[in-house]
């Protein structure tokens, strides 16, 4: 959990996690990511309230770990004010979440309710990058009268109706894809900036706003002149598709409009629909998602429409000679 100076979010979250399921999760460990002032203001209060939560509702922790944001010299930060403070928080949050998600015996229930908004953002981002299918992300909510530090509310008393809401938050789980592309991201101690750079590279190269996919039809090779990498060889069945794709412009076009009535056109038309997905997978793997051919419509008697991604052109050329 990320934590600011409101320790109640901890007990509220723990109570709701255990009570909103049909069975007790038996949470035994909690990792709190906070600042120096956050820990100073919360630690003693939490010891007392966690003890009370355990006595009244049988929610008992065996381990509480504090992770305090520190600068490059190791000095604990009282607050997150500067860009470097936020960077330090990002490093710590990614480090903690990545390590927890590497433990096969640990299921992560993350909360972004506490701390600065930047801490909440980095918690959600870290979960998106590192979480496995079983890991969850939550945000705890209570009515305004319970939010104040002096309200005295940490969890509902025995027999009281709970005012706590704990919605589970959906998020894109990128780990499976990134781990396949960059497996060392999760086993190493890569810094936050390097992790972000590697993740973006794995998700697709930074293609310029305008770029051209060049096709050597005779030698069955494609490349992007703005990307410094060797041409990619394609299987023969994809080449006829490019003869059609070269005719596409930025406006979606019905495939029927591009093909004639001869036998070659009929064959290409049939194969186009069969081969466009594997061709797109190949283009995405080599050049990034922006190189995929867009398709819309189709089905229920409507012909499919295909278009090039914004900023992309396709042209024929001879393969470059590599020295």
CA–CA separation, 271 and 240 (whole Å): 9
Residues 265 and 190 in one domain: no
313 confidence band (pLDDT: 50, 70, 90) = confident
Whether this prediction's pTM lies above 0.95 is answered by no
Assigned domain for 160 exists: yes
> For position 294, which CATH number holds?
1.10.10.10
Residue 93: DSSP 8-state: H
323 confidence band (pLDDT: 50, 70, 90) = very low
Whether pLDDT at 261 is above 60? no
Q: Are 220 and 202 in contact (CB under 8 A)?
A: no
Residues 125 and 246 in one domain: no
pLDDT score recorded for residue 20 = 78
Q: What's the whole-number mean pLDDT along residues 138-142?
A: 95
CA–CA separation, 31 and 237 (whole Å): 54
Beta bridge partners of 15: none
308 confidence band (pLDDT: 50, 70, 90) = confident
Residues 87 and 196 in one domain: no
Assigned domain for 298 exists: yes
Domain that holds residue 189: 173-203
Run of H or E including 30: strand 29-34
Helix (DSSP H) and strand (DSSP E) numbers for the chain: 11, 11
Residues 96 and 52 in one domain: yes
Whether pLDDT at 136 is above 80? yes
CA–CA separation, 291 and 312 (whole Å): 7
Residues 189-241 pLDDT 10s: 889 998 998 888 787 667 888 999 999 989 999 999 888 788 999 988 888 78
pLDDT score recorded for residue 180 = 85
Residues 13-23 pLDDT 10s: 999 999 877 77
Assigned domain for 73 exists: yes
Name the H helices within the chain. 8-19, 36-57, 83-100, 117-130, 144-147, 175-181, 184-187, 192-203, 239-245, 255-258, 263-287
| Domains: count for the chain | 3
Assigned domain for 3 exists: no
Mean pLDDT of the chain: 86
Name the H helices within 106-209. 117-130, 144-147, 175-181, 184-187, 192-203
Assigned domain for 114 exists: yes
pLDDT score recorded for residue 200 = 84
Residues 91 and 72 in one domain: yes
Residues 280-304 pLDDT 10s: 999 888 888 888 888 766 566 666 6
CA–CA separation, 272 and 279 (whole Å): 10
Whether pLDDT at 264 is above 60? no
């Amino acid at each position: 959990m990320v934590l600011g100076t409101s320790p109640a979010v901890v007990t509220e979250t723990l109570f709701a996690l255990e009570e909103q399921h049909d069975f007790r999760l038996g949470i035994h460990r909690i990792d709190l990511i906070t600042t120096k002032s956050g820990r100073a203001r919360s630690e003693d209060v939490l010891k007392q309230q966690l003890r009370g939560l355990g006595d009244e509702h049988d929610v008992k922790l065996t381990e509480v770990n504090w992770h305090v944001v520190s600068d490059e010299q190791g000095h604990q930060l009282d607050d997150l004010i500067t860009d470097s403070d936020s960077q330090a928080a990002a490093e710590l949050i990614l480090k903690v979440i990545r390590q927890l998600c590497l433990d096969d015996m640990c299921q992560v229930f993350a909360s972004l309710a506490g701390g600065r908004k930047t801490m909440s953002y980095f918690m959600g981002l870290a979960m998106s990058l590192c979480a496995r299918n079983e890991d969850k992300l939550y945000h705890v909510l209570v009515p305004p009268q319970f939010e104040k530090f002096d309200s005295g509310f940490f969890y509902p008393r025995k027999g009281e109706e709970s005012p706590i809401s704990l919605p589970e938050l959906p998020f894109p789980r990128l780990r499976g894809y990134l781990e396949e592309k960059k497996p060392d991201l999760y086993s190493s101690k890569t810094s936050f900036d390097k992790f972000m750079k590697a993740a973006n590279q794995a998700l697709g190269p930074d293609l310029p706003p305008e770029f051209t996919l060049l096709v050597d039809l005779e030698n069955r090779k494609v490349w992007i002149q703005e990307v410094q990498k060797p041409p990619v060889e394609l299987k023969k069945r994809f080449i006829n598709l490019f003869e059609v794709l070269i005719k596409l412009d930025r406006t979606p076009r019905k495939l029927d409009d591009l093909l004639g009535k001869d036998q070659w056109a009929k064959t290409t038309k049939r194969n186009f629909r069969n081969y466009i997905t594997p061709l797109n997978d190949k283009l995405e793997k080599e050049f990034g998602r922006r190189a995929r051919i867009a398709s819309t419509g189709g089905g229920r008697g409507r012909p499919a429409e295909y278009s090039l991604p914004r900023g992309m052109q396709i042209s024929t050329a001879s393969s470059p000679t590599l020295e």
